[in-house]
Chain A
Amino acid sequence: MKYELVVGLETHAELSTKSKIFCGCTTQFGGEPNTHCCPVCIGLPGALPKLNEKVVDYAIMAGLATNCTISPLSRMDRKNYVYPDLPKAYQISQYDLPLCRDGHIKLSTGNTIRINRIHIEEDAGKLVHERGTTYVDYNRGGVPLIEIVSEPDFRSADEAREYMEKLALILKYIGVSDCKMQEGSLRCDVNISVRKPGGPFGTRTEIKNMNSLAFMVKAIEYEYERQVDILESGGKIIQETRRWNEEDKCTESMRSKEDAHDYRYFPEPDLVNIVITPEHLERLKNTIPELPDSRVERYTQQWDLPPADAALIARYKPIAEFFEAAVQGIQKPRTVSNFIVGQIFGLFATEEERAEAHIPIPPQYLSELVKLLEGGKINSNQAKDTLKKMLDTGKPHTEFLSEADLAGLDTHALEAMARQAIEQNPKISADVRSGNDKAINALIGSVMKQAKGKANPKEAEAILRKLLSE
């Protein structure tokens, strides 16, 4: 009988505040070891933490963007454990009164992943092994983190991956974290168990510190097989912490439940309770932009965009905002989205560039160009060429389209060209007259060539038909 996979994720995201959670030191990544430090973040005797209010705001925004309830009263606690990268021998975290509770994220499978809680805490330093010795670098110590704890609602590794991608997208979108897994600013612990469908949860194992989605997927898949094999052969799963070994492509045991830490949590006496007033919460709510999912829905339903284009545009906030501004007063929003997908995305080579999306022209420039196209003043080739020049220079279309270009062709000139096309192509003209309707395209082509692209093909076709039927 088949086993069902049950996964829950604990995700850590570094918040992108300028200063650390309990002191004024910079959160900048890197730097010479122990230069982004002060008495507070290296835990010197007598130094006291001071909670950075921005950290609280960012965490609340993360909670609001993931449909959480924000606690009006929450508190910091001490999580006690001894390790050289933790200079106070306790991490200031939150235990039973976290900032945010009971949120959720919807996946494309239709499954909803419930979020149990989001709390704030400080990051630890890191150990550096060099010249046969171990050193500690506390630059990262005290960088603010949020921990987002999901319920065990994932039923496949793909769901876990989609959730992580979506979470990263949301946190980047609201500007609270840059979510760079390779720099460790987004990482997760995976809780895995298997069970007979509908049966009780099995014993779970935890895989710590996944800092790549590819590894996470592989680790989940491996661990599923491992647990199923054990159960199939009559064995029992041991509750333990494991790690992913990328070299051997397997998970391996780190420590068992018996060796688990007793963190001896208790309320942090150096800090006071965190009180969030309804007014402050309202102010934060107003800073949350419309999120991608909601934009996609609007783009596809109101503006009739193809779902793939809608998703692509909505994914990058500056591009979505550009699109929404450019589409004002346009009859067919799809025309605008085509230019964005076709030409503007081409400006950006990397995911970072797309996320920042410095578009060289204001949205009104594109809007005006599309209006000319819709009004038949220019054709689509002209529009494409002009947009390219606009993007290259940052200048409006008026720099590139002359009065004459925009004047179009009057009916007399067009009629003369049509007559010439018919006279020069007697055979084709005869074909059209005898019912080979497709042959007319060649005549339209001839007119367009004479007009050097300035003619409107539909108008040319209408005149040709009129002349041919005379």
Chain B
Amino acid sequence: MSVSSRIRGLHELLAAKKISAAELTKAYRSAIEKHNEALGAYVSTSFETAEKAAEQADKRIAQGDELPLLWGIPMALKDNISTTGLSTTCCSKILSGYTPIYDATLWERLKAQGAVLLGKTNMDEFAMGSSTETSCYFPARNPHDPTRVAGGSSGGSASSVAANLAAYSIGSDTGGSIRQPASFCGIVGFKPTYGRVSRYGLIAYASSLDQMGPLAPTVEDAAIIYSAIAGYDPKDSTSSQLPVSPVDLSGDIRGLKIALPQEYISGVGEEAKAAILAAVKTYESLGAIVEEISLPSASYSLPVYYILACAEASSNLARYDGIRYGYKAEQYTDLDDMVCKTRTQGFGKEVQRRILLGNYVLSAGYYDAYYKKAQNLRRVIIRDIENIFEKYDAILTPTVPSTAFELGFAPSDPVETYLTDICTVTANIAGLPGISLPCGTDSKGLPIGMQLMAKRFEDSRLLKIAHAYEQAAGEVCKKIDLLNF
């Protein structure tokens, strides 16, 4: 069973005029209308504008022009990506009623490529969570087992793609929020190098860690989307001016060196471990050299991540005060009371927890012990990673220590939930490109994901390495397709 690109398949159907973009959009619409209630993938839809955009796309197709691969193909955006005139709420009550007056650069680029936006996908409130259960609307469910979570924070994006309620979708990844739900839902999730995709218009959680990227059925799909969204944006000072090297998935990976950090393997369950070791065998059969290594600074990654992310979040989220847009408390005595009540009522528990943590680690007397120390450790981790990439082309780890857990499985200790991010946060801390792709299933049939990371700005090579495995391994987990046409 070979793995083939969904986007390429649809593109060929559209180009051959076997289906129109409008018909395709209608088909997605009815699938969403039928199944979204069960899956909770979308929190808002924009079918009317989608159908208009599809009709426009069809006009160009009718002219027989050579068109981008994404032309006329329906897709979804995470609810934290700004779109003019379309509600963008970060799945938080505090942004209820907020409609952006400008487009994120990423959305501008996709629109120029003919993308048709079906709607906004579910997420953990302000991307803070690993299960999309902190969404102020409803949780997103896993198409492989709707009693289980889709992961998070881009759970709605993953669920929509895994069930084919969107051809592909865009998520954001601050500590694993693209890769972890992709792993849970048995699809590909790619977080590009920090600075490769403009953050302009992405509602910030933690600015130095946030990066948008694709959730897609296959590596080739992820590569097509990546090529459309990557590149310098003068509106984002942290976006890189380095030219984007074109993605070339062809050719073998003989002689390539892959590092397998034992710290990440030891903590995972037996089934996940077995799937990873099978993937290692596949790589070896392709001529790659896989070696176990040690990454001692890995143990710092999680605390460093939570300190820095919460610190930045406390500042990024301070602007939601009810004065200019979004939710505003109805009853209050004065300005301070209004801001206080608005934030208390508007933010969920997890967001409040992280804001408090962030304010704490930045406050006078604690800054050196927490924020500054975390910044220093961030440099140590980056140096350690650089050392590894002097000898290796990629690092292979599990994406998540477990497969999708059941809804409502809320550990009493939030730190336990935070542990699910342990394999993914390193890529954000070091700004590396990271990709999760399916590598098997557990005994319940739930997808297991593996993660590959590469040196900064080696996104194209990382995609090629992932693609080589995917093609060799074939279909490793069940495909679900709710689209009918």
Q: Collect the chain A residues with CB atoms within 8 Å of residue B339's CB.
A: 82
Q: Nearest CB to that of B336 among chain A residues?
A: A82
The answer, yes or no, to whether B371 is at the interface (CB within 8 Å) is yes
> In residues 17-58 of chain A, which contact B (Cβ within 8 Å)?
39, 42-51
What are the residues of chain A within 8 A of B102 when measuring CB–CB? 39, 44, 47
B100 touches A45 (CB 8 A): yes
Whether the pair B238, A264 counts as a contact (CB closer than 8 A) is: no
Q: Which residue of B lies closest to A88 (CB)?
A: B319
CB of B234 within 8 A of CB of A82, answer no
Contact between B323 and A51, CB atoms less than 8 A apart: no
Interface string of A352-392 (1 = CB under 8 A from B): 00000000000000000000000000000000000000000
| Binary contact track A66-110/B, C-beta < 8 Å → 1, others 0 | 000000000000101010100111100000000000000000000
Given A44-B102, A45-B203, A45-B204; 20 other pairs, CB 8 A cutoff: A39-B100, A42-B324, A44-B82, A44-B325, A45-B100, A46-B82, A46-B201, A46-B203, A47-B201, A48-B236, A50-B237, A82-B321, A84-B321, A87-B319, A88-B319, A262-B363, A264-B362, A266-B315, A270-B204, A271-B237
A270 and B207 in contact, given A47-B201, A78-B315, A87-B319 (Cβ under 8 angstroms): yes
The answer to whether residues A51 and B319 also contact, given A42-B324, A46-B104, A262-B364 and a CB cut-off of 8 A, is: no
| B297 contacts partner chain A, Cβ-Cβ < 8 Å | no
Q: Which of B202, B237, B311, B315 interacts with A272 by CB under 8 Å?
A: B237
B95 at the interface (CB under 8 A from A): yes
Among B98, B207, B237, B311, the residue within 8 A (CB) of A45 is B98
Which chain B residue lies CB-closest to A78? B315
Whether a CB of chain A sits under 8 angstroms from the CB of B369 is: no
Interface size class of B (residues with CB under 8 A): 35 or more
Q: Assess the B200–A46 pair: CB atoms within 8 A.
A: yes
Give every chain B residue within 8 A of A43 (Cβ-Cβ).
319
**B59 nearest CB across to chain A (Å):** 31
A311 within 8 A of B: no
Given A44-B100, A46-B104, A48-B199, also A266-B362 (CB < 8 A): yes
Residues of B near A50 (CB, < 8 A) are 234-235, 237
Q: Note all chain B residues with C-beta closer than 8 A to A44.
A: 82, 100-102, 325
Assess whether A84 is in contact with B235, with CB atoms less than 8 Å apart: no
Q: Is the CB of B312 within 8 A of A80?
A: no
Question: A46 touches which one: B204, B312, B314, B364 (CB < 8 A)?
Answer: B204
Asked if residues A264 and B201 are in contact (CB atoms below 8 Å), the reply is no
Please tell me if A269 contacts chain B, counting CB pairs below 8 Å: yes
Contact call B101/A39, Cβ cutoff below 8 A: yes
CB <8 Å contact, A46 and B100: yes
Q: A78-B315, A84-B335 are in contact. Are A136 and B323 (CB under 8 A)?
A: yes
Nearest chain B CB to A381 CB, angstrom units: 64
List of A residues within 8 angstroms of B95 by Cβ? 45
Residue B359 at the A interface, CB < 8 A?
yes
Q: Does B318 contact A (CB under 8 A)?
A: yes
B45 within 8 A of A: no
* Closest residue on chain A to residue B358 by CB atoms: A264
A264 CA to B365 CA, complexed, in Å: 10
Q: Closest CB-CB distance, B131 to chain A, in whole Å?
A: 23
Give the chain B neighbours of A266 by CB distance below 8 A. 311-312, 315, 362, 367, 371
C-beta contact mask, B56-82 vs A, less than 8 Å → 1, else 0?
Answer: 000000000000000000000000111
Docked complex: B283-322 residues within 8 A CB-CB of A:
311-312, 314-315, 318-319, 321
Q: Name B365's closest neighbour in chain A (CB-CB).
A: A262
| Nearest CB in chain A: distance from B172 CB, A | 11
Are B237 and A90 in touch, CB under 8 angstroms?
no
Which residues from chain B contact A88 at a C-beta distance below 8 Å? 318-319
Q: B residues within 8 A CB of A271?
A: 237-238
Closest to B371 in A: A266
User: Does A82 contact B200, Cβ atoms closer than 8 Å?
Assistant: no
Assembled-state Cα–Cα distance A91/B323 (Å): 17
Cβ of B208 within 8 Å of any chain A Cβ, yes or no, is yes
> How many Å from the CB of B87 to the closest CB on chain A?
12
Which 6 residue pairs across A and B have the least CB separation, nearest first? A89-B318, A269-B207, A264-B362, A269-B208, A45-B203, A46-B201
5 CB < 8 A contacts A-B: A39-B101, A50-B237, A82-B339, A90-B318, A271-B237
A45-B208 in contact (CB<8A)? no
Please give the distance in Å from B199's CB to the nearest CB on chain A. 7
Q: In the complex, A264 Cα to B356 Cα: how many Å? A: 13
Binary contact readout B180-206 vs A (1 if CB under 8 angstroms, 0 otherwise): 000000000000000000011111101
**Interface mask (A95-133 → B, CB under 8 Å = 1, otherwise 0):** 000000000000000000000000000000000000000
Which chain A residues border B80 with CB–CB below 8 Å? 46
Give CA–CA (A303, B371) in the complex, Å: 61
CA distance A46 to B237 in the complex (A): 13
Q: Which residues of B in the span 72-112 have a Cβ within 8 Å of any Cβ on A? A: 80-82, 88, 90, 95, 98, 100-102, 104
- In chain A, positions 258-292 with a C-beta closer than 8 Å to chain B are 262, 264-266, 269-272
Which residues of chain B are within 8 angstroms of A49 by Cβ–Cβ distance? 237
Residues of B within 8 A of A80 (CB): 314-315, 318, 362
A39, A51, A89: the one contacting B321 at CB < 8 Å is: A89
A90 vs B200: C-alpha distance when bound (angstroms): 18
Assembly CA distance A253 to B200 (angstroms): 43
Q: How far, in angstroms, from A87 to B321 measured CA to CA in the complex?
A: 9
Which B residues touch A46, using CB under 8 A?
80-82, 100, 104, 199-204
- Which partner residue on chain A sits nearest B360 by CB separation? A264
Query: What is the 8 Å Cβ interface bit string for chain B, positions 354-391, against chain A (1 contact, 0 not)?
Result: 00000100111001000100000000000000000000
Tell me the bound Cα distance from A136 to B237 in angstroms.
Answer: 28
Closest to A23 in B: B235
Closest B residue to A136 using CB positions? B323
- Closest A residue to B82 by CB, please name it: A46
Within the complex, the shortest CB–CB distance from A84 to chain B, in Å, comes to 5
CA distance A269 to B358 in the complex (A): 15
The CA-CA distance from A47 to B362 in the complex, in Å, is: 23
